[in-house]
Structure 1
């Protein structure tokens, strides 16, 4: 099917793109990279329409079973492009993390291998509930028609990152070529580090390491085979992927565990030698070998279960052209301190400010990124030094409203991000803050419904004898059912998903407005590069 994509005007990046109906009225705002199916002559000629130098006609809702919803719409030709940007959607999964990365390929360029033209879609964490499954179904029709994803990445075994995969892996219609993880698995429901298989002391007894690491596919399948008892949620999720046979390979990711090139570790098939315009480097977890070269190990942080499995999150750095994005998992203070020392080549944490500044400068050479998925949902348990080493101009925070235990994002953390980010006004984007909820008080409606039900139940003999009793009762029951439907309205009117799109030369960060008007749907920030090669926010002139 012939198609184009919505373009972005490089010299006027804040000029919005719209679809117009046949009368010339605005129908819908569209965003850079949106797919547009082109209308053909058979669509246009019966209506006396044709494309010209200014306008392009497209099909809207052409696959809808209701013909009345199908429309021919037009868009200004200057807002169309044959190329699309790389896209990252930080899905609003409530409490937890979940992102989808969509590569920009559609067609194979001359001289490239055939597979180079295939888009690659990565699902990086999936939240705790059903939000990611619903997003994938809405975006890709995954559950209705089936879909083959390139990879799932489970950054670490916390339920607000992995449990959503249980819903996704529950059907054979969805497959993943690989499921990457950080090598740590939850073996039981114990409270302490025994949940991860216990610990053992390293040489000299100075550092403790996890006893159990799962580096390969065979070990994962033997641990969580369908015949094994499901003793915890993690086992249940992985077991579904094995039972449904929709994961081609389970594989640990970490520094030195991936595709190794030029002294660095890359996500397999995303290394520089893959001949694509983008790369994905693996920056964590930092794997050690204290027990020999064939025994990858992960150290214990603060003798604590949560800090250890969070601190060894899979860390990724995407580079596309001039722009980069850092995926920070659930890093915490001890893990960040350890990683900074490794990337700066230090044996101990520096004691003086001058030494810490030098460490940050050294680590920046590997960690520096334009956009950062902030660590641990906006927790304040992070270091200023790590934020400075990444030095992003934009931060994305994924958190939920019902986070009673942790209160994320922390207000003091937001202040630190604004202070430490790059530029005069770093942009802070939060799925929780961007989310718009309905102002609904169900108590009043429940009271009214209770009263009406009681009145219906009190009908006396005279009312029953009335000729129109059944008709009136039916009418009242229908009205009651309609009001009951109001109780089922979702509390979220507009989800807080955050979209990052780049073609390597321009970048935008976008989210939906609180209004549900399709003609005013999107708000976004556009970025370009300074002469020094750093990210620069293009100001939105004349706006409040």
Structure 2
């Protein structure tokens, strides 16, 4: 007899097929294709990286140089309006800080362009990199730090590195795709083992932010997994090199976006990666184009760590408009201050007279510092460049040339 009741499915009967809309099925197919394409691209990139490393090893033997002798070495390379510094740790790790310059980097004192200046610049950058204090004949750069995506901080890396070097890790502010000048990101990506966008902008009690690598929160040291780097250090920085008591390197600011003060900066400069290097009881602070807002973040979150530095890289090439506030200079109170800037470059007017004099006023006379000239500029648009004589340890690479310093191991 007919009935309206729905018959129950028995346990051994197959479940009816789930009906999917054509639109949902198409979306899932596209997602699967995209994920597969990403896996294929990553596999292709890693294969290229391994093949390039194998080729380099065949071309360049890998004997040890002087790096790893227990000392820390750092060179601030003369690149005009730009930034390029090379560091080797006591244990022999090699770190690049930026690597760019604008086209005016090699003007003569009179301001006229010197023929082949770009070729000369690239040669000098490569020569420092290949110095035995750094890579020597080695071909692996352990870490590249890209402070921010302004071309004068990275646009020469393609020519400097070529197919002679590969990179273990890259820490950068902003997305990696922002480093477009001279197709740098496209060139670098297959040559880097791991890229990490770094954000370190949490200011407890004042500004909600984050401490992340590639979007993932940075964790404390995990004794179970023995993770020693890419973790929080004891003071809340992001530890990227850990050689025990000999050397520790931490990122202490990156991606700072909050406006503590109106310094006229943009998010790009304000978000510069700031790196603290500690070795053999001495401290070096690498500032990139950090601004007064970045400085205030550091004063709020890392004041004790940056007090009484041995060396500070003067932020933003010595600009007074955006950087080097008096209170920041008072706190860092360094033994030595170094600006990466050009020589008599009218377009940029770096370093600023006011910034140089702020540091000069804080520093003591040193018998090991000879009288030297630094070309400094009055405020933008006012007056001509001045030749400033001093016996204080404040330098500009444009006036002094490449500057190399060492933190020696105690014997």
1-side partners of 2:362 and 2:122: how far apart?
31
2-side partners of 1:375 and 1:329: how far apart?
6
Indicate the residue corresponding to 1:160 in structure 2: 152
Indicate the residue corresponding to 1:413 in structure 2: 355
Indicate the residue corresponding to 1:125 in structure 2: 98
Measured after TM superposition, the shift of residue 135 of structure 1 is 2.7
Indicate the residue corresponding to 2:184 in structure 1: 237
Measured after TM superposition, the shift of residue 336 of structure 1 is 2.1
Indicate the residue corresponding to 2:315 in structure 1: 375
Measured after TM superposition, the shift of residue 180 of structure 1 is 1.2
| Cα distance change of structure 1 residues 149 and 264 upon mapping to structure 2, 3 Å threshold | same
SS of the aligned residue for 1:392 comes to coil
2-side partners of 1:402 and 1:369: how far apart?
28
Pairs within 5 Å for 1:428-439: 428-434=394-400
SS of the aligned residue for 1:313 comes to coil
Indicate the residue corresponding to 1:337 in structure 2: 296
1-side partners of 2:270 and 2:123: how far apart?
26
| Cα distance change of structure 1 residues 502 and 132 upon mapping to structure 2, 3 Å threshold | farther
Pairs within 5 Å for 1:135-534: 135-137=125-127, 139-140=129-130, 147-171=139-163, 173-182=164-173, 184=174, 214=175, 220=176, 223=177, 233-234=180-181, 236-242=183-189, 245-255=190-200, 256-257=211-212, 258-268=230-240, 270-271=241-242, 274-275=243-244, 277-285=246-254, 298-299=257-258, 306-343=265-302, 363-381=303-321, 382-401=324-343, 403-421=345-363, 426-434=392-400, 496-505=401-410
SS of the aligned residue for 1:264 comes to coil
Query: Is the 1:254–1:282 Cα contact (8 Å) retained in structure 2?
Result: no
Structure 2-normalised TM-score?
A: 0.59
Query: Is the 1:169–1:237 Cα contact (8 Å) retained in structure 2?
Result: no
SS of the aligned residue for 2:356 comes to helix
Query: Is the 2:233–2:250 Cα contact (8 Å) retained in structure 1?
Result: no
Query: Is the 1:169–1:246 Cα contact (8 Å) retained in structure 2?
Result: no
Measured after TM superposition, the shift of residue 337 of structure 1 is 2.9
Indicate the residue corresponding to 2:62 in structure 1: none
| Cα distance change of structure 1 residues 301 and 307 upon mapping to structure 2, 3 Å threshold | farther
Gaps of 5+ in 1: 1-79, 106-118, 185-213, 215-219, 225-231, 288-297, 344-362, 435-495, 507-544
Measured after TM superposition, the shift of residue 303 of structure 1 is 9.0
Measured after TM superposition, the shift of residue 299 of structure 1 is 3.8
| Cα distance change of structure 1 residues 395 and 305 upon mapping to structure 2, 3 Å threshold | closer
Gaps of 5+ in 2: 1-65, 103-117, 201-210, 213-229, 367-390
2-side partners of 1:410 and 1:83: how far apart?
37
| Cα distance change of structure 1 residues 335 and 136 upon mapping to structure 2, 3 Å threshold | same
Deviations 1:461-482 (CA, angstroms, capped at 9, x unpaired):
xxxxxxxxxxxxxxxxxxxxxx
Query: Is the 1:95–1:398 Cα contact (8 Å) retained in structure 2?
Result: yes
2-side partners of 1:99 and 1:497: how far apart?
9
Deviations 1:290-337 (CA, angstroms, capped at 9, x unpaired):
xxxxxxxx4468899953211111111111122111112112223323
Query: Is the 2:245–2:279 Cα contact (8 Å) retained in structure 1?
Result: no
Look at both structures and tell me which one has the larger radius of gyration over its CA atoms. Answer: 1
2-side partners of 1:146 and 1:85: how far apart?
18
Q: Which runs of 4+ in 1 moved over 4 A?
A: 141-146, 300-306, 422-426
SS of the aligned residue for 2:349 comes to coil
Query: Is the 1:137–1:143 Cα contact (8 Å) retained in structure 2?
Result: no
Deviations 1:372-403 (CA, angstroms, capped at 9, x unpaired):
11111111133101111111011111111363
2-side partners of 1:177 and 1:102: how far apart?
14
Structure 1-normalised TM-score?
A: 0.45
| Cα distance change of structure 1 residues 369 and 284 upon mapping to structure 2, 3 Å threshold | same
Query: Is the 1:379–1:409 Cα contact (8 Å) retained in structure 2?
Result: yes
Q: Of 73, 83, 103, which residue of structure 2 is paired with 1:97?
A: 83
